[in-house]
Homo-oligomer: A and B are copies of this chain.
Amino acid sequence: MGKYIIGIDVGGTNIQGGLIDPHGRIVSRAQVKTDAPLGADKVIERIAGIAGQLLEQSGVNRNEVAGIGAGVPGFIDVDRGVVLSAANLQWKDVPLAERLNNLTGLPVCIHHDVRMYVYGEAIQGAGRSFKHVLGLTIGTGLAAAYIDQGRILCGSKNMAGELGHIPMRGEQARCSCGMQGCLETVVSARGLIRQVTEAVRSGRPSRLAGLALREPGELTADAISAAYDEGDELAAEVYRHTGRLLGYGLAYAVTLLSPDVVIIGGGVASAGEKLLAPVRETLQASILPKYWSHLKIKTAQLGNDAGLIGSAAYARTKLDPLPE
């Protein structure tokens, strides 16, 4: 019989924790504000606090717990358990695993948050019956990871899977990464908002014009989705272009990686068919039938739990592996 595992999802705003039983079920939850400006020490104390709270809440004994798995938004040295850099948290070279181990007495395994999100979906969510899983999250930005028969494709310096920074011919917008025309400049909440704002500024009529011309921050991806539902032509056009571009980007990824399933999650994915219909159409037209015929396109199933479920499940492979 396996042990319990604590899964932690460290976000820029909140830290979420869950105690996962040997069957992969969340039996206890806790959440706390990240308050990153207080510094790494305080944040690590909060993570340790969540671990303690989860045990207390559930009555599970520390020696029934195999360890802690944590997903962190940044560049991670997985083997050494060090967060090399995390822009959202303003961390640099933080030995998270060691320090969390000192505070809790539990073994700790850390990894990149998006990889843990996709790992969670791959193992227990929309990808659980597939061997080769490509997962993406479309939120403020666009991130992705590929899980090949349970192994996370990391690549040199852990830099594999940067679907958001694939250069798209014909796209010109400046990306936050410093490059031009990255897929993320279109396929992201920021990208949707930029497209609407630019069109409105150039005189295109839209019921979003008022919002788009106000202070930055007023226009949201949700507002664009709502305008689409109300029949706004600009909103429809922007979703069509965004979906088509994602279809092209996925065509490259599918042709190179050959996943069984593509899982699409994150806030922008909640637009559903507005986005997915043009994705499917472009993808089908852009990949060989031998790929398309068995490829599944699915939306993520675990919602906000994917990250902590993935972190726990991945940590289990390292800290409490099942007998072969």
The residue that A155 contacts in the complex, of B159, B160, B259, with Cβ under 8 A, is B259
| Contact mask for chain A residues 247-265; partner B; CB cutoff 8 A; 1 contact, 0 none | 0100111011111100000
Smallest CB gap from A167: residue in B: B286
Output the least CB separation between A162 and chain B (Å). Answer: 5
Query: Does A131 lie at the interface of the complex (its beta carbon under 8 Å from any beta carbon of B)?
Result: yes
Q: Which residues of A contact B (CB under 8 A)?
A: 131-132, 146, 148, 151, 153-163, 165-170, 177-179, 248, 251-253, 255-260, 286-291, 294
The residue that A294 contacts in the complex, of B156, B289, B294, with Cβ under 8 A, is B156
Given A156-B259, A258-B155, the answer on whether A248 and B161 have CB atoms closer than 8 Å is no
Q: Are B291 and A159 in contact (CB under 8 A)?
A: yes
Output the least CB separation between A164 and chain B (Å). Answer: 9
The residue that A132 contacts in the complex, of B156, B162, B170, B177, with Cβ under 8 A, is B156
Q: Are A255 and B288 in contact (CB under 8 A)?
A: no
Q: Are B148 and A153 in contact (CB under 8 A)?
A: yes
Output the least CB separation between A220 and chain B (Å). Answer: 28
Given A167-B286, A287-B167, A288-B179, the answer on whether A257 and B155 have CB atoms closer than 8 Å is yes
Instruction: State A228–B254 Cα separation when bound (angstroms).
Output: 36
Output the least CB separation between A289 and chain B (Å). Answer: 8
Query: Max chain B CB contacts within 10 Å: which of A161, A177, A258?
Result: A258
Known: A162-B255, A163-B256, A252-B256. 10 other contacts (CB 8 A): A131-B156, A132-B156, A154-B258, A156-B260, A158-B258, A159-B290, A161-B256, A167-B248, A169-B170, A252-B252
7 residue pairs of the A-B complex, CB under 8 angstroms, read A151-B151, A157-B258, A158-B258, A165-B288, A166-B251, A166-B252, A252-B253
Instruction: State A248–B252 Cα separation when bound (angstroms).
Output: 11
Q: Are B153 and A257 in contact (CB under 8 A)?
A: yes
Residues of B within 8 A of A148 (CB): 153, 155
Output the least CB separation between A279 and chain B (Å). Answer: 14
Output the least CB separation between A171 and chain B (Å). Answer: 10
Smallest CB gap from A289: residue in B: B178
Output the least CB separation between A186 and chain B (Å). Answer: 13
Q: Are A257 and B160 in contact (CB under 8 A)?
A: yes
Given A167-B286, A288-B179, the answer on whether A294 and B157 have CB atoms closer than 8 Å is yes
Instruction: State A258–B146 Cα separation when bound (angstroms).
Output: 12
Q: Are B132 and A169 in contact (CB under 8 A)?
A: no
Smallest CB gap from A155: residue in B: B258
Output the least CB separation between A147 and chain B (Å). Answer: 12
Instruction: State A163–B153 Cα separation when bound (angstroms).
Output: 18
